[in-house]
Amino acid sequence: MDIVSRIRKIVQEAIAEKYQLKIEEDLILINETKQEFEGNYTVVLFSFVKNLKKSPESLGNELGELLITKYPEFFSSFNVIKGFLNLTITDRVWIDFLTENHNAGNFGRKEKNGKKIMVEYSSPNTNKPLHLGHLRNNFLGWSVAEIYKANGYDIVKTCIANDRGIHICKSMIAWKLFANGATPESTGIKGDHFVGDYYVLFGEEYKKQIQQLVASGLTEEDAEKKAPLMVDAQQMLVDWEAGKPDVIELWTKMNNWVYAGFDETYKRIGTDFDKIYYESKTYLLGKNLVEMGLKKNVFFKKDDGSIWIDLTNDGLDQKIVQRSDGTAVYITQDIGLAVLKYEEYKPDLSLYVVADEQNYHFKVLKLICQKLNIPSANGIYHLSYGLVELPTGRMKTREGTVVDADDLVDEMVHIAEQHTTELGKVQDFTAEELKDLYNTIGLGALKFYLLRVDPKKKMVFNPEESIDFHGFTGPFVQYTYARIKSILRKEETTGEEHAKIDNPSELLALEKAVILNLERYPAIIDQACKEMNPSVIAIYAFNLAKIFNSFYTEHSVSKAETSEKKQLRLKLCRLTATVLKSSMALLGSRVPERM
């Protein structure tokens, strides 16, 4: 049981004993004591005052006296500030906590709870490579899944590959017309980049055709529809849906090129999935649900034969669920896919990690599923996040400002190499060790920077700033971990670090500050899970690293004042290293043993 839970239970028992008042534990609010006041934890008294008919100060003093009298081994002192009872925990409690947990490799993680969470993320189009926006999506989805896993949930990581539609046909038409049989193998270009180049080429040639048609007298709107490239792409989509063999063959070949490229990127950035769904296999799902919804009067049919749902009473508007020609729209296949996911995995919660541009879509999806009484409906949750911008502004494909994920990772690794070389502490590393170190630092910097911001907020990504060894960055945390491991390698030789500390001297302020932060780690993982917010972990890891560095600057481990002080500080180092490694792992990042 963590210290806050123990305090809550003690306060509950004390109030019941002294005032014969039973208060539920979850109604007892306990916060960390503010820095300007003495104490470690604060009990908020206002919720009890009315029932007990006492002033906050009187109640605080009576309760504080009882606590330090009855639990002297737990509380050393108290003070009351208005309606707040500030409690100071004894050094013995902190030292026992450290002794019990310093060697626990899974510290902070919970036992299995039998509940299942499905997390869908990445979901790329198969006509271009992953970009910076996909990286925030991947890192966020993967990290949230791992945070849920650390809290005891079974996790299913999924992806939907958007592998059909007009955008795919544009790349296919451009390849047929301009590639002369070229392949990723013959050109040496990574598959997803290769196909993406033809998507860009389609756009360039399409723009030229529009200009020519406008010059010949057509309006721009007519020119966009009648340009030969677009006509061919539209026909290819019709042929694909009809299953025309040569179109299906080309589609399969080009998608496989892209998948091979995606797999390479996913492996490099540490993304994985338990199940990948393909839009080409799911786009017809949901049509039978539309029929069911018509019979139940959830949907209605317009005069042109199209089918809609009226959500005006829910604060939205009318939404089409099937076109007049009988074809499905995106929301239809998403309803069907939601059912399929539930049938296959029975998740208690199904998270969709998608940018906030799709907020409306997911409100509609959940409402429709609820109105259809689909079992998975209440478990649908849109984990919405803000877009990533560059210092120069928002990325735009047509203006060539999109940053490819592969190029960005290369740049981050290169910057990591430059910064590490400047520090000049890796002369004894082999070439292979250096390569691994640069990748660890570069990817750690990238993931930490993209995850340190609350997902709901838009953010600006600055590569140079993200890799500062002294700032609010992944490399700062990684460097602190490596520093601790260096201390432990030098000092953990006698077995003293495992001995029980029987007669400790008083904890120094910075020793206590580090231990107090370590004790909070399980609650931090829990908070990050409840908020679906990896930035909680990132901020915590940075603050822990910062407090440890302050401690180590002031207090020696190897030349500690006494043998018991040395034991205590070695335990403190060991648990700090464990927690830093664990927290960075939840963000998808490794930590180097030396750097």
How far the first Cα of the chain sits from its last, in Å, is 36
CB 437 within 8 Å of CB 583 = no
If pLDDT is split at 50, 70 and 90, which confidence band does 138 have? Answer: very high
- What letter does residue 379 receive in the DSSP assignment? G
- What letter does residue 131 receive in the DSSP assignment? B
If pLDDT is split at 50, 70 and 90, which confidence band does 393 have? Answer: low
| Predicted pLDDT at 52 | 86
Q: pLDDT of 350-379, one tens digit each?
A: 999 999 999 999 999 999 999 999 999 999
- What is the average per-residue pLDDT within 336-363? 96
Q: pLDDT of 226-240, one tens digit each?
A: 999 999 999 999 999
Q: What percent of the chain has pLDDT over 70?
A: 96
- Sign of the CA dihedral with 1 first, then 563, 513, and 529 last: negative
Length of the chain: 595
Round to whole Å and give the CA distance between 29 and 50.
Answer: 16
Q: What percent of the chain has pLDDT over 90?
A: 83
| Predicted pLDDT at 285 | 87
If pLDDT is split at 50, 70 and 90, which confidence band does 550 have? Answer: very high
CATH of domain 445-586: 1.10.730.10
Q: Is the pLDDT of residue 394 over 60?
A: no
Strand partners, 30: 43
Six-digit token pair at 93? 């409690």
| Strands, sheet with 275-278, edge to edge from the N-terminal-most edge strand | 275-278, 154-161, 116-120, 349-355, 380-385
CB 92 within 8 Å of CB 73 = yes
Q: What is the mean pLDDT of the chain?
A: 93
- Helix 509-519 × helix 91-101 angle, to 10°: 50
How many helices (H) and strands (E) the chain has is answered by 23, 15
- What is the average per-residue pLDDT within 443-463? 94
Six-digit token pair at 270? 């540490």
- Helix 287-295 × helix 330-345 angle, to 10°: 100
Round to whole Å and give the CA distance between 501 and 568.
Answer: 7
Query: DSSP letters of 132-160?
Result: HHHHHHHHHHHHHHHHHHHTT-EEEEEEE
Per-residue buried b or exposed e for 186-224, using 16+ beta carbons within 10 Å of the residue's own CB? eeebbbbbbbbbbbbbbeebbeebbeebeeeebeeeebb
- What letter does residue 404 receive in the DSSP assignment? B
Round to whole Å and give the CA distance between 91 and 71.
Answer: 13
Round to whole Å and give the CA distance between 440 and 330.
Answer: 39
- What is the average per-residue pLDDT within 136-153? 98
Q: pLDDT of 257-316, one tens digit each?
A: 999 999 999 999 999 999 999 999 988 888 889 999 999 999 999 999 999 999 999 999
| Predicted pLDDT at 464 | 81
| Predicted pLDDT at 399 | 44
3-89 domain in CATH 3.30.1360.70?
yes
Six-digit token pair at 414? 């290169």
Q: Is the pLDDT of residue 396 over 60?
A: no
Q: pLDDT of 489-544, one tens digit each?
A: 988 765 555 556 666 678 999 999 999 999 999 999 999 999 999 999 999 999 99
Please report the beta strands in 335-386, taking only residues with DSSP state E, as ranges in sequence order. 349-355, 380-385
| Predicted pLDDT at 395 | 46
Instruction: Give ranges for CATH 3.30.1360.70 in the chain.
Output: 3-89
CB 173 within 8 Å of CB 202 = yes
Q: Is the pLDDT of residue 397 over 50?
A: no
Instruction: Give ranges for CATH 1.10.730.10 in the chain.
Output: 445-586
- What is the average per-residue pLDDT within 425-437? 92
- What letter does residue 470 receive in the DSSP assignment? T
CB 355 within 8 Å of CB 141 = no
- What is the average per-residue pLDDT within 1-18? 93
CB 9 within 8 Å of CB 20 = no
| Predicted pLDDT at 361 | 96
Q: pLDDT of 72-131, one tens digit each?
A: 999 999 999 988 999 999 999 999 999 999 999 899 999 999 999 999 999 999 999 999
If pLDDT is split at 50, 70 and 90, which confidence band does 53 have? Answer: confident
| Predicted pLDDT at 502 | 62
| Predicted pLDDT at 422 | 87
| Predicted pLDDT at 398 | 42
What is the identity of the amino acid at 523? A
Round to whole Å and give the CA distance between 475 and 468.
Answer: 7
